A and B are shown apart, each in its own frame.
Chain A
Amino acid sequence: MLGFAARRLAQSIPVLVGISVVTWALMAASPDDPARIYANQQAVGGRAEPAEIEQARELLGLTGSPVEQYVRWARRALSGDLGESFRTGQPVTTEIVDRLPATLELAGGAVLVTLLLGLPLGVIAAVWANRWPDHVARLVALIGGAVPAFWLSLLLIWLFAVEWRWLPSNGRGGLDHLVLPALALGAAAAGGYVRLLRASLLETLGEDYVVAARARGLRGSAVLVRHALRNALIPVVSQLGVTVGVLLSGSVVVEVIFSWPGIGRYAVDSIARRDLPALQGFVLFSALVYLGASLAVDLAYRWLDPRVGRRGAER
């Protein structure tokens, strides 16, 4: 398992290099001169002198050939230095790392919501396929997939925070603060899992090993859980990595609406202020979390499916 993790990490190196190039290019290939943006923001009166702009260029490492610039940037990035925020002058890495737990908490809550909604509905849809529970589950999934997270956020705030005053709609705190944003973010992704698990379970329910399990006198529930569901979950798990990406994407608007102090809201503020290093940090960390999630999913996949990658034991 450890060997596999190491191999899988090594395979990610080309993609990591690609991620770093894209991240670097966000500043280096910006159509508006980043040095001018920075210098103007620093200058009294918002208008920098040419000398100040050149000074900023030096400071931001935007001199020399693109290759030199990239190597310089990448070397610093490897040591954890992503430059300073244009707005605050603080190291971007610190600012992101301070806000990352909030985003991870929100995304984690959303994954939980997705699975708690999606998996039971998926099982219900498959077990009662083409009967009314299936129709209801699929309708819920369809609507869930069509409602944008930012609208669902507003609806939830309106109902649960404004009308009924059950839950807070602002900021991060205890579990009660997490409920609404996690629900808004996670519900949309649940629809996909209903469909995926339904399809996957319908397939495994028709497999010979399920018929064979029934033929040896196993109870229906044991057949469903131990054999049909256990196998049907394998493709579901492989989808989780993609879902983390979807949830990271959706968390941007949800964080803005719920004033959630995570990296998504930080990114939106950075864009408004043209804070390019902060934006770079956001993109880089999002990609790293995404990559980490797909690595974790690959490991889980191997653990769930004994066949994967252990062909060597075959004789």
Chain B
Amino acid sequence: MALLEVNDLTTTFATDRGPVRACDGVSFEVERGEVLGIVGESGSGKTIAALSVMGLVPPPGVIERGSIRFDGEELRGAPEHRYRDLRGRQIGMVFQDAGRALDPVHTVRSHLREASGRQDDHGALLQRVGLDADLLDRYPYQLSGGQRQRVMIAIAIARDPALIIADEPTTAVDALTQVALLAELMRLRHELGAALILVSHNLGLISRVADRVAVMYLGQILELSPTAELVREPGHPYSAALLRATVPLDGDGTRLEGVGGNPDSLLDPPSGCVFSRRCPHADDSCAMSRPALVATAPGRHSACHHLDRFAEATRGVGYGS
């Protein structure tokens, strides 16, 4: 049994201009100790997927369908107090912009007190994330971006959770700090033996640390594959496009291209395959019906009508092979 099993998760927002499906039939699993990357452009539903697992979908959003099982227990429809016991204790979350996710009127100490449930020893917690204990009485605005993000991580690991969800944990800081933060996060995860869901728009970053990657677009997972295989041989036209648009962290970046076309809007999703409007391989059948996410090889899943045709065209496009 996997630590987290998400099945057919569908999260909908009622807006002025009709319902918006931020997550549309999302399914994935996270094994104990595993690192799952979720990659997608903004608006792909990756953040809402993470918040859905936490039971923190902001209003007017509701989980319309699907199941979320943590450690075998169904969480969808679970009472708020059950969720409260899980949050922080079993599942820790790192938010994308600690400048916003830390309460401006509370000190670091006050945050850590809430997160750990302990009255003291907060200095040790700070030291675990590589910060000085004398930052305890600072307010968030008195910290640098990197320090704030480390405080965020300290909050997430304060009670040794079995799963950490990190939503764009390094986006708000500069490139150098990014690398250090990611290394810190991976070290701590390893120490705790915790599983990690790393949510990011940056496939290059995810591909460095994730065991498996889920590629999301307009609320749907288009590919779910082991990282090494996805990078070597993407199993979906969108994965391939993302890969081409990615600066390899250790590469020279000469092959950099855009995904092509403008991102579609959740308000007006294409019929059939959600990527059909931007896909170079799309034909009429793509706009007709939505391809299911099916196993294409051991451990690999893809949602594409023309996998064969596409596979011929893109063999060797990946890097790191």
Contact = CB atoms under 8 A, between A and B. Distances in A.
B56 interface: yes
Interface stretch (A62-70, A209-217, A269-277): A209-217
B58 A209 contact: no
Contact of A314 (B106, B114, B141, B152): B141
B142 A209 contact: no
Interface residues of A, number: 27
A208 B89 contact: no
Nearest to B158: A216
Interface in A205-235: 206-209, 211-220, 222, 226-227, 230-231, 234
Given A214-B56, A219-B84, A208 B139 contact: no
Contacts of A218: 84, 88, 114
A131 to B, nearest CB: 11
B100 to A, nearest CB: 4
Interface in A268-315: 304-307, 313-315
Contact of B102 (A212, A226, A306, A313): A212
Main SS of chain A's interface residues? helix
B95 A208 contact: yes
B88 A207 contact: no
A206 B87 CA distance: 18
B58 A315 contact: no
Contact of A217 (B88, B95, B100, B141): B88
B101 A212 contact: yes
Interface in B68-90: 80, 84-89
Given A209-B102, A307-B139, A315-B144, A216 B95 contact: no
Contacts of B51: 211
B38 interface: no
B56 A215 contact: yes
B297 interface: no
Contacts of B88: 215-218
A236 to B, nearest CB: 14
A307 B115 contact: no
Given A208-B95, A231-B103, A305-B105, A215 B87 contact: yes
A217 B160 CA distance: 13
Contacts of B86: 217
A304 B114 contact: no
Given A313-B142, A314-B142, A217 B87 contact: yes
A176 to B, nearest CB: 39
Given A208-B95, A208-B97, A315-B144, A217 B85 contact: yes
Given A215-B87, A216-B158, 11 more contacts: A209-B101, A211-B51, A212-B101, A212-B102, A216-B93, A216-B114, A227-B106, A305-B105, A306-B139, A307-B104, A315-B144
Interface of A: 206-209, 211-220, 222, 226-227, 230-231, 234, 304-307, 313-315
12 contacts: A208-B101, A212-B155, A216-B92, A216-B93, A217-B85, A217-B86, A218-B114, A231-B104, A305-B104, A305-B105, A306-B141, A307-B141
Interface of B: 51, 54, 56, 58, 80, 84-89, 92-93, 95, 97, 100-106, 114-115, 139, 141-142, 144, 152, 155-156, 158-159
* A-B residue pairs, 7 tightest by C-beta: A217-B88, A208-B100, A216-B88, A212-B101, A217-B87, A209-B103, A215-B93
